[in-house]
Structure 1
Amino acid sequence: MKLVHAIAALVGSATVSIAAAQTQITIQYPYAYAFKPIFDTLVERFEKVHPDVRVVTRPPYQNYEDGIEKTLRGAISNDLPDISIHAINRQRVLVERGFVQPLGKLIRAESNWESRGYASGLMAIGRVAGDTYSLPFAVSTPVVYYNADLVRQVGGDPNRFPQDWDGLLALASKINALGNDISGVSFAWDITGNWMWQALVMSQGGSMLTPDEKKVAFGGPAGQHSMRLLSRMVKEGGMRNLNVAAGRQSFAAGKIGILISTSAYTETLDKAVGGRFPVRTTTFPLPAEKGKLPGGGSVVVMSAKKPDTQKAAWEFVKFITSADSAAYVASHTGYAPANALAASDPKYLGDFYKSKPNHLANMRQLDVVTQWYGFPGDNGLKITDVIADHLQSVVNGAAKPDDALKMMVEDVQRLLPR
């Protein structure tokens, strides 16, 4: 009995010693419905190979905007997570306000960095003000989802889906005419960061601001065509005034023929539809010869400052952006792998893409991806809201597209730094 107590005491003291030796790090990420299962798995895998580190996940941000707002409040009370996931277009705010740590020195201390999948093109996503402040975590593009049964029902060919807006809207109009509470098209115009608005403008060869970031640049033909397209979706395609989530749910219920939204929903939609009808994907229409699409998705940033915490946080950042983790994220969402090795070596995702061809629309567009723009200055976040309000006015019929664009340009111009 004494021996049993002695062993128990030794085991107990060893457990206390291990616990005491652990470094605790915190992480916070958005979109629980998409990322919670992902991070639950990644944290579990990481802690198995790093028993000296305990990862504590904070309650997820509701979305990317909520992430920035909570970060702004957390900075005031000195309560930022050690690691966080933010939208690609929001890292500028984090860097300008000094909320995140530069990673350049840590990267230079690593061996064989690029051969591990951190290609220069991907690394450029995280470069701000001459240093690297983030690593890419997930990359998405706008894609077109369509209900193949409804396409066939109106005489269309699911294998030859229209690749231009006129053809797409003509098909949407036919689907809308089916009645039975079915609408032809839904466009996720209110998705975070005006991302889909940027996609419309940039695909036309336009941009948000002039190169010197002094003047609004979307008031010309690219912006006009984009705003008129939004109006046509309502008038010709029967688009309803639904938010992103409602549009996704209605499509999954078989009530929308064509859904234009983020590739990040690919796996989520497949599960929601549950085989009730065949879902297909295709690339986003690209009218301009040199048209681009804003690369959506998220980056990993680090706010940890203490040496031991920063060391542990850096190990976790590398782990969740590795080829293995990137392949896991891609295969469980609709994001493209944010690691070049995972994207190029068939051993990671080759079989997955053969069995899940709907994910290929996103991959096919990566060569036309450009920066998801973040507006400069203290009013950057407010500008996002102003643009969304004007887009809403076109969708709900309160304003004509040309009038809404004119007011949008004026309102955004007033909010730019002088």
Structure 2
Amino acid sequence: MPYQSKQLLRCLLGSTVGIIGFAASASAEVTLDVLYTTPGTFSTLQQNLAKRFTELHPDIKIKFRNAVAGYEEAAQQILRDQLTGRLPDVAFNGINQIGLFVDRGLGVPLDGFIAKEGGTAALGYYPTLAALGKWKGKMYGLPFAVSTPVLYVNADLVEKAGGKVDDLPRSWPELLAFGKKVEAAGNAGVTGLYFQWEQTGNWLVQSLVTSKGGHILKAGGCNIAFNDDAGMWALKTLESFGKSGMPNLGLAQARQSFVAGSVAVLADSTSYVAAAERQIGGRFKFRTVPFPLAAADGRLPAGGNMAMMFATGTDRQQAAWEYIKFVTGPVGQTQMVNLTGYMPGNAIAVETTELLGSFYGKNPNHKTSIDQLPILTEWASFPGDNSLKIIEIIKTNTEYLITRRQTADETMPLLVKEVAALLPPCAGQ
């Protein structure tokens, strides 16, 4: 661990007097306006972090805006706030939306603040995850809560069908076939496999493409790349879910069905792991296993959210930086992991005994996400003014595949035409 990080950690874990003595004081009291999403997951965490932060920084207060349901809703609100001049000072945005904001002239580069602290390595950020906050060569976000796609497994249902969790198939056709065995061996109403296609920002749809070694956009981001074999394979896989008889459930409904014991295998985000464990309460054996890769060069998009700065003025920006540094730092990330299923973006938290050093040994369902860190890639951000519209178009066509209203062969040309028409032209075109 770098020397600066050790010093920082000693201050954070020291006495109250020592911590406050370390904290940088603002020249006058500043109240930061903060926006976050998904209150069911983050409200308790955000309130706890704000309380601890203001104890360390008595001259900086945190005022939360009403939390919005999801990343797309937050993006729409921020774009409206740009028009009215009421942007939040700090916002926790979907990783895939950084480009949307920066291209609109929003977001404060964090490079100068980070350099004064000795760089991202000195602050403890995983290089792979810190890189996700870059757009056009500058750092606009730092990882707050990162997720990876995994499989949630009801081991009791799997074993009842004659299987073992450690021997689960590693391809979607085989998982679908095993799911049918589970349904045959289980009670009425049991679903063998459910794929959370509705995830925000087409995240799990993108996961299929990248797991096959494909890409959503070409380098530069102004041309589609999913119109290839990997993209067609992803669409045909989604089509196969619909043909298998998989029900079309909402996100919350699918999760409730899993914790109720009526879904054997659920493809979902690790963000729900802690809540699932609490809600299951030992009623059945719950395991997480890695998301299937369909190619040797397969990758998985990092989901979750980044802390971004929209504050203006030197004092407000410095206060916002102190807050971002705290919530994405060792102590903030430890609290985040303990209250959610998200993966930390800060290695110091994971490597420090007093923080998360023993957490993953005791909580293997959370460790699955950490194990997938080496294969993470970007969650594609659609550039231009039509970013949110493109996400909605892909979502609509995905549902048509799940509900058998369209085939993959029909869907691909429609997606290519509609998405390409909404992307901004490449430079020089």
Q: Distance in 2 between matches of 1:133 and 1:242?
A: 35
Which whole-Å CA distance do the structure 1 matches of 2:180 and 2:187 have between them? 11
Q: Could you tell me which runs of 5 or more consecutive residues in structure 1 were left unpaired when the two chains were aligned.
A: 1-19
Equivalent of 1:92 in 81, 90, 99: 99
Structure 1, residues 226-270: CA drift from partner, whole Å, max 9, x if none? 11211222333x311112111111111111111101011111111
Match of 1:410 in 2: 417
Write the distance in 2 (CA, Å) between the matches of 1:257 and 1:112.
44
Q: Does 1:363 align with 2:370?
A: yes
Q: Assess if the C-alpha contact under 8 Å between 1:390 and 1:405 holds in 2.
A: no
Q: How does 1:196-345 map to 2 (within 5 A)?
A: 196-236=204-244, 238-345=245-352
Question: In structure 1, what is the Cα distance between the partners aligned to 2:74 and 2:397?
Answer: 23
Structure 1 counterpart of 2:330, one-letter code: A
1:41-120 equivalent positions in 2, closer than 5 A: 41-111=48-118, 114-120=121-127
Q: Which runs of 4+ in 1 moved over 4 A?
A: none
Q: TM-score, normalised by structure 2?
A: 0.89
Shift of 1:346: 4.3
Pick from 153, 159, 167 the counterpart of residue 152 of structure 1.
159
Q: CA deviation at 1:215?
A: 3.4
- State the secondary structure of the residue aligned to 2:32: strand
- CA distance in 1 between counterparts of 2:205 and 2:100 reads 20
Measure, in 2, the Cα distance between the counterparts of 1:394 and 1:61. 29
Q: Which moved more, 1:181-190 or 1:120-129?
A: 120-129
- 1:15 aligns with none
Corresponding residue to 2:200 among 189, 192, 196: 192
CA distance in 2, matches of 1:357, 1:167: 25
> Equivalents in 1 of 2:326, 2:349: separation in Å?
13
CA distance in 1, matches of 2:321, 2:229: 45
Deviation at 1:85?
0.2
The separation in 2 between residues aligned to 1:179 and 1:56, in whole angstroms, is 49
CA contact 1:139–1:338 (8 Å) conserved in 2: yes
Question: Match for residue 4 of structure 2?
Answer: none
Aligned 8 A contact 1:85 1:298 in 2 = yes
Q: Determine which of 369, 394, 418 is the counterpart of 1:387.
A: 394
* Deviation of 1:219 (Å): 2.1
Find the aligned partners of 2:114 and 2:237 in 1 and give their Cα distance: 44
Q: Quick check: 1:162 aligned with 2:169?
A: yes
Counterpart residue type for residue 269 of structure 2: T
CA drift of 1:48 comes to: 0.9
Preserved CA contact (<8 Å) 2:349 2:357: no
Shift of 1:165: 2.0
Q: By how many angstroms is 1:220 displaced?
A: 2.2
Q: 2:407 aligns with which of 392, 397, 400?
A: 400
1:371 and 1:285 mapped to 2: Cα distance?
A: 17
AA matched with 2:231? G
Verify the 8 A CA contact 1:194 1:384 in the aligned structure 2: yes
Q: How big is the shift at 1:89?
A: 0.6
CA-to-aligned-CA distance 1:97-130 (integer Å, 9 cap, x gap): 1221111122222246522303443321211122
Cα deviation, residue 170, structure 1: 1.7
The letter of the residue matching 1:267 is: A
Alignment: residue pair count = 399
One-letter amino acid of the structure 1 residue matched with residue 100 of structure 2: V
Single out whichever of 171-180 and 191-200 deviates more from structure 2: 171-180
Alpha-carbon distance in structure 2 between the residues aligned to 1:64 and 1:408: 22
Query: Following the alignment from structure 2 to structure 1, what is the Cα–Cα distance between the partners of residues 162 and 81?
Result: 55
Stretch moving more, 157-166 or 246-255: 157-166
Structure 1 stretch displaced more, 263-272 or 349-358: 349-358
The 10-residue stretch of structure 1 (66-75 or 121-130) with the greater mean CA deviation from structure 2: 121-130
